[in-house]
Amino acid sequence: MVESEQDRGIIELLNEFCRELLNDEETLSGIKEKFRKIDAPDLENLDSITRTAVEREIGQILSSRTIERARYYARSLQNGLKSYSETENEAINLNLWKGYDHIITDSLWNLGARAREGHHKAWYWGNFVPQIPFQLISRYTNPGDWIVDPFCGSGTTLLEATRLGRNALGVELNPEVYRKTTDVLKEVTGTEDSKAVLENHDSLRFDFSAFLKKENLPGFKLAILHPPYWDIIKFSENPSDLSMADNVEDFTEKLARLAGGLLPAMSPGSHIALVIGDIYRKGEVIPLGFRSMDALSGLGLKLRGIIVKDIQNTRAKRNSESLWRYRALKSGFYVFKHEYVFVFRYK
């Protein structure tokens, strides 16, 4: 993170106010008067996380009723400012934790309607909303890091990664989908620092480590896996397609084998996210999500989160709500309104 002269000016000024408060040179009302004069334009050159955190701390100093409380927030503000240029390799800078409002830390994701930012076109049946990769990428990677999506589909992960200044490799089995996604990616002008590479390949056989070696990269910081939900949507007739698996056991075995093949290419301390839903079969719920979660846990990954994501806004059942309700009442089942995001840490 590069500090411009203007940033340095406002950072020094804020530090000076904090010092005055902490060194007994200012009264509570005097320091509030000074902080009140800091306006939004003074902060506009700071990156959005630093700006949000600084605004929060100033707000808390202004609403402090005692000088001890104001000093507490002044110390917190000082810490945040100190780390402004020192912690660029951390995905989350805890000294600025108040600036991360955009990151969800709860296990229930009500993401609402599909986000409109970026170049996402939602042309692919079975895609996910950009908010999913947005959350994972913002939380677990820094600008410049590499992300991998072995079930790339329409490239939602790749588009979101480049929009956020990261790089991404996508692997997609279906040649038609690969071609269309390649065309979409061509239209997108990533910055020079952010690359999107798409390969038409079977991820069960793709050599992710060889890719890293060829590109001279240390390892992926995040893998986002959004496989077919077994055969709910048949993506192709290719026997390697996970939607063609013979049964649930075959599906989870292939998923685990694919993830296992990816692990040598993951950096230590990186994260692997699996997005998947459950299915019905012959009047029974098959908890495909938990079966898949168990399959990945078996690889020695540490489970960090089981997120339940609301799917009420997706297209699939929106136009046939009453039919599904009728079927549910008739057969005694519940209509799925959620899917899962399982987050694992590698090493």
Ligand X SMILES: C[S@@+](CC[C@H](N)C(=O)[O-])C[C@H]1O[C@@H](n2cnc3c(N)ncnc32)[C@H](O)[C@@H]1O
Contact set with ligand X (CB under 6 A): 124, 126-128, 150-151, 153-154, 156, 171-174, 177, 202-204, 226-228, 235-236, 240-242
**H-state helical runs in 27-125:** 28-36, 40-43, 48-62, 67-82
Query: Rounded to the nearest whole angstrom, what is the least distance from the CB of residue 46 to ligand X in the complex?
Result: 33
What phi and psi, each to the nearest 5 degrees, are found at residue 41? -60, -30
Nearer Cβ to ligand X (52/154): 154
- Comparison of 145 and 172: residue with beta carbon closer to ligand X: 172
Q: Provide the β-strand partners of residue 222.
A: 147, 271
For the CB of residue 239, give the shortest distance to ligand X in the complex, in Å.
Answer: 9
Shortest separation between residue 173's beta carbon and ligand X, angstroms: 4
In the chain, where does DSSP find H-type helix? 5-22, 28-36, 40-43, 48-62, 67-82, 131-140, 156-163, 175-187, 208-215, 248-262, 288-297, 321-331
| Minimum distance from residue 166 beta carbon to ligand X (Å) | 16
- Judged by CB, which is closer to ligand X: 175, or 264? 175
Q: Are 168 and 148 spatial neighbours (Cβ–Cβ below 8 Å)?
A: yes
Question: In whole angstroms, how close is the CB of 322 to ligand X at the nearest point?
Answer: 27
CB of 57 to ligand X, least distance (A): 38
Q: Considering beta carbons, is residue 153 or 289 the nearer one to ligand X?
A: 153
Residue of minimal Cβ distance to ligand X: 153
Cβ–Cβ under 8 Å, residues 139 and 213: no
Torsion of CA 150, 151, 154, 156, to 10 degrees: -70
31 vs 272, which CB is nearer to ligand X?
Answer: 272
Residue closer to ligand X by CB (options 49, 184) is 184
Any idea of the CA torsion for 119, 121, 125, 130, to the nearest 10 degrees? 40
What strands lie across the sheet with 338-345, from one edge to the other? 108-109, 302-310, 338-345, 266-276, 220-225, 146-149, 167-172, 196-200
